[in-house]
Structure formats: C-alpha cells, structure tokens
Structure 1
Amino acid sequence: MIDADGYRPNVGIIIVNKEGKLFWGKRLYQDAWQFPQGGVRENETPQQAVFRELKEEVGLEPSDVRVLGRTKDWLTYDLPKHLIRHYSQPVCIGQKQIWFLLGMLSDDEKINLNTHETPEFEGWSWVDYWVPVQNVVEFKQSVYHQALTELETHLHKFWTKEHVG
C-alpha cells in the first residue's frame, strides 16, 4: 500500500528495557542494524501493525511490553535512488512511519527472532539510547533522531504506572 505521495505507511518499534537500553536488531545476512519496523496493512491501525510486527520480528506478545508513547505525526524518509524499484507500480519513494516506544516487561528470554517464516534479524543487542542514530543506515538517521527525540519524553512512564493505551 503506497500513498499518493509515494510513501509506504509503516510503523517503527523502539523497545526499551528496565535499564533504559534499546533493542537493536542485526539485519539478516547484512552488516546493518536497525529497530524493528514494518508496513501497515489495509484496514489495520498503526497500533495493530506494531503488535503484529513485534510478534513477527521479535517474537514478543502484547503482554510482553507496555506502550509508553508514539509519535504524534508520520515521520518520513526517502529511499536512496538506487533502492527505488521504478518497475513496480505505484513507485515507492520512501516510508512514512508512526513510531512507538514500548517498555519491555518480560525477560530477555522471550525474544525470539525466528517466529516468522522470513526472519528480519539474525541477532540483537541492548544499546544506549542514542547509539542507533549514528549506527543505522545513513538515509534513516534523520527519522531515527526525530523519533528518539520525540519519544524520549515518554521514558519516565516505564518506571511509573502512567502509560499510553
């Protein structure tokens, strides 16, 4: 599903543990790391997409996390020209994303990267909050910075009873 401007609706997932570290996934067969993310299907809300992608990519259930916050608006990034598939219609020039900050309630052992027939990640690590901005592929750095900046204000909710439904 590509919108009229050429962007694919997508959700980004930032998982924080009780130590304030973020889940950082190593892409399968690539020397690249990123947050879990995935497309929003037709007739699916962004929050429904988050929980579907969370299960598919990380093996976690909604009960394993708590929604702490989400970006107010769609954040966009453009694909580099060499990654645009000009032969497909409609042409996708990038992604527009709603980002969610999720607090990890379960133990690390619940993380399972092999629950889907086509895994996204082959490894993972907990990293400091700002590490992903400098370590994600360059064309995503700005959107990562925007998402982390906006969602940083919600971190305190993980250690209190306040949360987003």
Structure 2
Amino acid sequence: MTPAQIEKLPYRPCVGIVLINAQGLIFAAQRIDSPTPAWQMPQGGIDAGENPGVAALRELQEEISVTPDLVAPLSETRDWLAYDLPHEIVPNIWNGCYKGQQQRWFLMRYLGRDDQINIQTAHPEFSEWRWIAADAMLHAIVPFKRQIYQQVIDEFRDWLA
C-alpha cells in the first residue's frame, strides 16, 4: 500500500483500559505476537453498535479474564484519541482496512486478587503480566503508541503511582 492509500483509510474504533491496583500501579502485559518486548494495557475493538464502556468491560474479560464485578470504573478520557500505525504494518493488520486506531480510554480500579487475573484465555494475547508505575508503562510501550499513552497517563495522573 502506498502512503496516500493508507492516509485515506479510517481509524478502527477501539477502547483501552488503564486497570490500576490499590497502589495506583498499572496492569501491563507482554504481547504474545511481538518479536520484541512489547508491553501494553488491555485494549480492543468496539463491535458495531456496542457502547464503548461495555466494550471495555468485554475486553477485560476476553483478554485477562477480569469480570465486571472485579473492577470499579473511575474515569474515562474526555476525547477520543487516535494513533497511526507504521505504514509497513498497515497491510498486515485488520486486513489492511485501518490506518490506526481511534480510542476511548477508561480508568478502572481492580478490586480482585492477582490470582484472579488469567491471561491464558480462549484466544491468548499475552505471555506474561505485571503491575508497573505510569512512567515505566511509557517506556514499555512500542514507540508508535507512546504519544497516546502519554496523553492517557497525563489525563489520569491523579490516580496513578
């Protein structure tokens, strides 16, 4: 795909979840499909007609087995935030239909125990997970997502370690 073709593509509607524990540390997980270490927070697409808040709860359950009763919603970003994928990745992700993602981010406090988090789901996306501070999360994310992670962390900073 040429850069001009990619620019014409839409953004994929998506949610992201900043899941924090009682100490304000962020849940971060290592992507299973990345050749280099790539840690991220849970995120995923919004189904057609789905409410973003409902999508966020669904993604937590699908990706890390955390059910709605184990979280307390705290906040969400004021605006939708978008990032572009590197051009060389676009043809290989989501059938080349999107240039990146437009996300609504949700901050949620985790109320459960660590042993209730399970990344060995029906369709695993992660190989390991840990709780980390906000600044460590910024250093762990792939570079093309760093700016959006910075915006999210800035918006939720009062709750984060």
Structures share fold, TM-score greater than 0.5? yes
* Consecutive aligned runs of 4 or more in structure 1 exceeding 6 Å deviation: 86-90
Give, as a single letter, the amino acid of the residue that structure 1 aligns with 2:15: V
SS of aligned partner of 1:18: coil
How has the CA–CA distance of structure 1 residues 81 and 90 changed in structure 2, closer, same or farther, with 3 Å as cutoff? closer
Displacement after TM superposition at 1:57 (Å):
0.5
| TM-score (structure 1 length as normaliser) | 0.85
Give, as a single letter, the amino acid of the residue that structure 2 aligns with 1:14: V
SS of aligned partner of 1:26: strand
The residue aligned with 1:14 is 18
How has the CA–CA distance of structure 1 residues 74 and 128 changed in structure 2, closer, same or farther, with 3 Å as cutoff? same
2:137 pairs, out of 126, 132, 144, with 132
2:88 pairs, out of 82, 86, 89, with 82
8 Å contact 1:40–1:46 — kept in the other structure? Answer: yes
Displacement after TM superposition at 1:118 (Å):
1.4
The residue aligned with 1:62 is 68
Give, as a single letter, the amino acid of the residue that structure 2 aligns with 1:146: Q
Displacement after TM superposition at 1:91 (Å):
2.9
2:152 pairs, out of 124, 147, 150, with 147
Q: Percent identity?
A: 38
**1:120-155 residue CA offsets vs partner (Å, 9 max, x unmatched):** 1110011012211122000000000001111224x2
Pairing of 1:105-124 with structure 2 (within 5 A): 105-115=111-121, 117-124=122-129
Give, as a single letter, the amino acid of the residue that structure 1 aligns with 2:110: M
Q: Which runs of 5+ in 2 are unaligned?
A: 1-7
The residue aligned with 2:41 is 35
8 Å contact 1:65–1:106 — kept in the other structure? Answer: yes
**1:78-117 residue CA offsets vs partner (Å, 9 max, x unmatched):** 00000111897773100000011110111111101123x2
Displacement after TM superposition at 1:13 (Å):
0.8
8 Å contact 1:6–1:90 — kept in the other structure? Answer: no
Quick one: distance in 2 between partners of 1:37 and 1:92?
A: 16
Quick one: distance in 2 between partners of 1:32 and 1:87?
A: 16
8 Å contact 2:29–2:128 — kept in the other structure? Answer: yes
How has the CA–CA distance of structure 1 residues 53 and 86 changed in structure 2, closer, same or farther, with 3 Å as cutoff? closer
8 Å contact 1:13–1:101 — kept in the other structure? Answer: yes
Quick one: distance in 2 between partners of 1:6 and 1:99?
A: 19
